[in-house]
Amino acid sequence: MGFLQNKRALIAGVASERSIAWGIAGAMRREGAQLAFTYQNEKLRPRVEKYAATVDSDIVLPCDVASDDEIAAMFEALAGRWDGLDILVHSIAFAPREELEGAYLEAATRAGFNAAHEVSAYSFTALAKGAAAMMEGRAGAMLTLTYLGALRAMPGYNVMGLAKASLEASVRYLAQSLGPRGIRVNAVSAGPIRTLAASGIGGFRKMMGFFEQAVPMGRGVTIEEVGNVAAFLCSDLASGVTGEICYVDGGFNMVGMSERFLEQ
Ligand code: NAD
Ligand code: 0WE
């Protein structure tokens, strides 16, 4: 029996088979969870419906997280299918492309800052409100995806780093708010992975090269490896864990200097 047997999970953020959310869906399904998916816009709908069918799910709902109306309609539709929810996965980020090019101070604009924070940080809290209402009386778990750029200055990550810092603080405040209701809230901080969101970034290849030189494991992580940790954190096996940022990055975050660089 899988460790997520009888759990119902809502997964937001599948855009392709390379999406981290898709790695999480695979691990959760393998462990016995029933899955529901949201998609950002009509362009993505047929794709997400097709992927959902392969993990025995026919609950595929529209939800642009920039809209409170769409979030409300999505939870209303979900409540029509499920009488409760155990797991929320938030795997969504966006900043206008121009914000992710060049130096932070030059790239930053008020509109870009606001858009990045709304879609990449506030949306987790917005989804948490609707999800918590469906988790009453169950041992609920919420999970989001973050990146080391929240803590360390990364060339080009720019306003996304600020939004991830806010998202990580949200994990702690949501964990404190929801703890009394038996709901846990955590994040996985993933190492760089070539997904749609990453391939939109100039110089991603070079950054991957720097990462691979310093990372103790000597290689990048996969969506399957992120999925396994995400599934564990959302399961009763992690019943004592909340408010945590869990690194799935091959150890990159704790290194002070690259061993491979010195050996060159
Ligand atoms: P992805 O492009 O596959 O997923 C990003 C998702 O965000 C897409 O499904 C997209 O539809 C969704 N999205 C964007 N704006 C939205 C909106 N307004 N409403 C609803 N959905 C919206 O890329 P990914 O790498 O799987 O990204 C998932 C998460 O993982 C993001 O939070 C990202 O910051 C994080 N992350 C990625 C990496 C990496 O290197 N790929 C590393 C660490 C963390
Ligand atoms: O969170 C991310 C990227 C999120 C992202 C990606 C895009 C590309 C297309 C947000 N908004 C947009 N907007 C677009 O128009 N990552 C963790 C991947 C990533 O992005 C970087 C990285 C890494 C890793 C940017 C600079 C440096 C490293």
**pLDDT single digits (tens) 206-222:** 999 999 999 999 999 99
Query: Is there an atom of ligand 1 within 6 Å of 119 CB?
Result: yes
pLDDT at 202: 84
Mean pLDDT of all residues in 54-61: 98
- HSE value, Cβ hemisphere, 13 Å, CA-based, for 200: 12
Active site residue 147: yes
Q: Given pLDDT bands bounded at 50, 70 and 90, which one contains residue 200?
A: confident
Q: Given pLDDT bands bounded at 50, 70 and 90, which one contains residue 32?
A: very high
Query: Is there an atom of ligand 1 within 6 Å of 66 CB?
Result: yes
Mean pLDDT of the chain: 97
- Give 211 Cα–ligand 2 centroid separation in angstroms: 15
Q: Given pLDDT bands bounded at 50, 70 and 90, which one contains residue 143?
A: very high
Active site residue 39: no
Statement: residue 237 has pLDDT above 90? yes
Mutational pocket test of ligand 2: of 94, 101, 152, 201, the residue with most ligand atoms within 8 Å of the beta carbon: 201
pLDDT at 132: 98
Q: Tell me how far apart the alpha carbons of residues 29 and 26 are, in angstroms, rounded to a whole number.
A: 5
Angle at 28 between CA 251 and CA 227, to 5 degrees: 20
Q: Long-range contacts for 198-202 (Cβ within 8 Å, ≥24 apart)? A: 200/97, 200/100, 201/100, 201/156, 202/100, 202/101, 202/156
* Nearest bound ligand to the CA of residue 100: 2
DSSP assignment letter at 111 = H
Q: Given pLDDT bands bounded at 50, 70 and 90, which one contains residue 161?
A: very high
| CA-192 nearest atom, ligand 2 | 24
Residue nearest to atom 38 of ligand 1 (CA): 192
Residue nearest to atom 6 of ligand 2 (CA): 197
Q: Tell me how far apart the alpha carbons of residues 146 and 120 are, in angstroms, rounded to a whole number.
A: 9
pLDDT at 264: 82
Mean pLDDT of all residues in 35-58: 98
Q: Given pLDDT bands bounded at 50, 70 and 90, which one contains residue 241?
A: very high
Query: Is there an atom of ligand 1 within 6 Å of 38 CB?
Result: no
Give the residue among 23, 29, 24, 26 at the shortest CA–CA distance from 8: 29
* Nearest bound ligand to the CA of residue 167: 1
Q: Report the share of the chain in percent with pLDDT over 90.
A: 97
pLDDT at 118: 98
Q: Given pLDDT bands bounded at 50, 70 and 90, which one contains residue 195?
A: very high
pLDDT at 199: 87
* Nearest bound ligand to the CA of residue 121: 1
Statement: residue 226 has pLDDT above 90? yes
Q: Report the share of the chain in percent with pLDDT over 70.
A: 100
Mean pLDDT of all residues in 128-137: 97
Mutational pocket test of ligand 1: of 16, 19, 166, 208, the residue with most ligand atoms within 8 Å of the beta carbon: 19
Q: Token pair of 34, please?
A: 């029933």
